[in-house]
């Protein structure tokens, strides 16, 4: 009967009205500091908005949150679709909350081609963790951003840290160049791999192997256990071919089974060792400073692009150049040069 009362037309209308109400930046910020999940989610929605007014409000909230001290660990988790990222994150998140830590999961979902919204698959797969009072799961649509990493993921990390979350887990779609984008915003980069599915060969690619701070062979259970051991050996050999990391860390290869909850504690222990070593030698702070610099440069590039595309004269000139390119009257490279020279004369 109680559920019936809560779903009356009047109650639903009231909830919808509350959702539409504008919330002040002070209320949002205070709610974030108090760990209010609803207001944290509202703030993330605000910063994901393309509305210019929302941009200013979101920036105010972010600046206040940046001032909050924190000692969080940012952990990026990537791997090909089907490697078991969501199951692994749920197992790791559950372990961490059992240790009294607050865990935020920023799961970048594939974007619906129809609604342009997040499909929300990750949240439905992490049913147990999503009910944990010490966990916060936020699926965000990947949109058109690099390799499926939401454009506002960095800002979302800042808000989650201000809300008191000790560990921020960033999961990617696992396609394209998402590994590069995630690596540029986390402290520790974990690559999940499979054995017995051709993934050993795919793993021995210079770029991704050099970025990984560790490799975890997931689904190391049952009939797949022996293959996982062989894969771990192959990956370990491959890692020795690459130069040592500047921070002195030697990447490791571990085996785990998210479904059987084996090897998860060992992986977390390794992450703690990594963070402890890098805090001690100063690379932890240096890495974050470098990431903030890169974040600034990338944001400037994005805003310059938006600035020009919002100018009517730019769009007209661009259409003119596209027509000339189609008619083979000018090369795309030279057309871009002429376009920018003409537009910058107006500034």
Give the per-residue pLDDT at 120. 45
pLDDT tens digits for range 113-149: 344 444 444 455 688 898 999 999 998 665 544 433 4
In the chain, the domains with their CATH numbers are 23-68 (1.20.5.170), 69-281 (3.40.50.300), 311-345 (no CATH)
Tokens describing residue 54: 């929302």
pLDDT beyond 90 at 263: yes
Q: Which of 2-11, 71-80, 162-171 has the lowest mean pLDDT?
A: 2-11
Contacts 24+ apart (CB under 8 A), 305-312: 308/343, 311/343
Phi, psi of 189 (to 5 degrees): -115, 115
Contacts of residue 289, Cβ cutoff 8 Å, sequence gap at least 6: none
Q: What's the whole-number mean pLDDT along residues 77-96?
A: 91
Spell out the residues 6+ positions from residue 39 whose beta carbon is closer than 8 angstroms to its own. 23, 27, 28, 31, 32
Q: Ranked by mean pLDDT, which of 35-49, 119-133, 272-286 comes out on top?
A: 272-286
58-74: average pLDDT: 92
φ and ψ at 295, to 5 degrees?
-60, -45
Q: Residue 285: which H helix or E strand, with range?
A: helix 283-309
* Residue tagged 């610099």 (tokens): 293
Q: What's the length of the chain?
A: 347
Task: Flag whether pLDDT at 203 surpasses 60.
Answer: no
- Looking at residue 12, its pLDDT comes to 61
């Amino acid at each position: 009967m109680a559920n019936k009362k809560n779903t009356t037309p009047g109650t639903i209308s009231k909830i919808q009205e509350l959702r539409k109400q504008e919330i002040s930046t002070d209320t949002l910020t205070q709610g974030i500091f108090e760990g209010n999940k609803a207001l944290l989610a509202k703030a993330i929605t605000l910063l994901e908005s393309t509305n210019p007014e929302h941009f200013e409000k979101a920036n105010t909230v972010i600046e206040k949150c940046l001032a909050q001290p924190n000692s969080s660990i940012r952990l990026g988790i990537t791997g090909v679709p089907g490697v078991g990222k969501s199951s692994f994150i749920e197992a790791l998140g559950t372990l961490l909350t059992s240790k009294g830590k607050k865990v935020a999961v920023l799961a970048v979902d594939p974007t619906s081609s129809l609604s342009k919204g997040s499909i929300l698959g990750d949240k439905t797969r992490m049913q147990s963790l999503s009910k944990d009072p010490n966990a916060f799961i936020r699926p965000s649509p990947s949109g058109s951003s690099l390799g499926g990493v939401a454009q506002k993921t960095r800002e979302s990390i800042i808000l989650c840290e201000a809300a008191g979350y000790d560990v921020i887990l960033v999961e990617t779609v696992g396609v394209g160049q998402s590994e590069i984008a995630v690596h540029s915003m986390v402290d520790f980069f974990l690559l999940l791999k499979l054995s017995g599915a051709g993934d050993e060969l795919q793993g021995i690619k210079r770029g991704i192997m050099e970025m990984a701070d560790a490799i975890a062979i997931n689904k190391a259970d049952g009939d797949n256990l022996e293959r996982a051991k062989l894969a771990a050996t192959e990956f370990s050999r491959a890692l020795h071919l690459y130069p040592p990391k500047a921070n002195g860390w030697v990447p490791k290869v571990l085996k785990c089974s998210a479904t059987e909850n084996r090897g998860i504690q060992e992986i977390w222990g390794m992450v703690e060792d990594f963070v402890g070593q890098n805090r001690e030698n100063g690379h932890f702070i240096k890495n974050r400073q470098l990431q903030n610099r890169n974040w600034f440069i990338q944001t400037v590039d994005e805003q310059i692009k938006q600035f020009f595309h919002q100018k009517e004269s730019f769009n007209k000139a661009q259409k003119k150049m596209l027509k000339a390119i189609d008619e083979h009257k000018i090369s795309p490279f030279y057309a871009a040069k002429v376009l920018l020279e003409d537009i910058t004369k107006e500034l």
